[in-house]
Amino acid sequence: MPQVYPKVTLLSHTPDPDAMIAAAAKLCYSSSDIEALREKISREEAEKFVKMLAGIGHQSPLEHTLFIFGIEGVSRSLLAQITRHRIASFSVQSQRYVRMSNFEYIMPPAVAEDEEASRLFTESMNEAAEKYDRLTEILYRREKKRLTDSGETEESADKKAQKTAIEDARFVLPNAAATKMVMTMNARSLLHFFEERCCNRAQWEIRSVAEQMLKLVKEVAPAVFAKAGPPCVKGACPEGKMTCGKAAEVRDKYAAL
């Protein structure tokens, strides 16, 4: 069974996000029609205006830009965390409809660094895969017999039994089992996401995903995400006694991202 690692792709986004946000914000203070307003904004003006919006905390125009990500090589454990960000849309690979034989998995770095822990972890994944396949087969045979005995055709009984079997067998799959998803967020939600998940106190896997996402959106919307990242990038650390104590190091890291 293969071990995999988090990978993020920016699939699509609102064209010229900085200009769109600037046009939406300027409309609040302009008598011009929308199309003319948008056409008059140069790239330099858009970046300057977006940075001004950030300075005064006017964030509602950021909601007019969307970013669509492909996220793969992540665990079901991460899925439970990322879907807590409710102002977002998710389409996730289903364990009800996709048979997970020989499933991919994510191994935490702390486990991978220790030979004994790594061996035990791998054995656990192999055992879970074996139990999943055995359980699937037992449930499949029983359900197919029940369906054919009740008058279902062989083909119909086969399809229904397979679905029912993997739907219940999935309960033995571990949190480490890999999944993949498409996620859409607007810029305002992304800024909040980066504040929460780029912090050193965030769990390592979702932090890796957040950092990849931030690097991608900075390339297409540099003004919007110029100071994106954990809170200490643009101010004092809010974590109090729980701080990592590495604010200067974190600021350098995100300045170079």
**Residue 195 near residue 231, CB atoms below 8 Å:** yes
Clarify whether 197 is annotated catalytic.
yes
Number of CB atoms found within 10 A of residue 86's CB: 6
Angle, CA 219 vertex, CA 217 and CA 223 arms, to 5°: 80
CB 228 within 8 A of CB 237: no
112 vs 234: CA distance, rounded Å: 34
Would the CA dihedral through 121, 126, 128, 131 be positive or negative?
A: negative
Q: Which of 38, 76, 170, 197 is catalytic?
A: 197
Report d(CA 48, CA 19) in Å as an integer. Answer: 10
Q: Which residues are catalytic?
A: 197
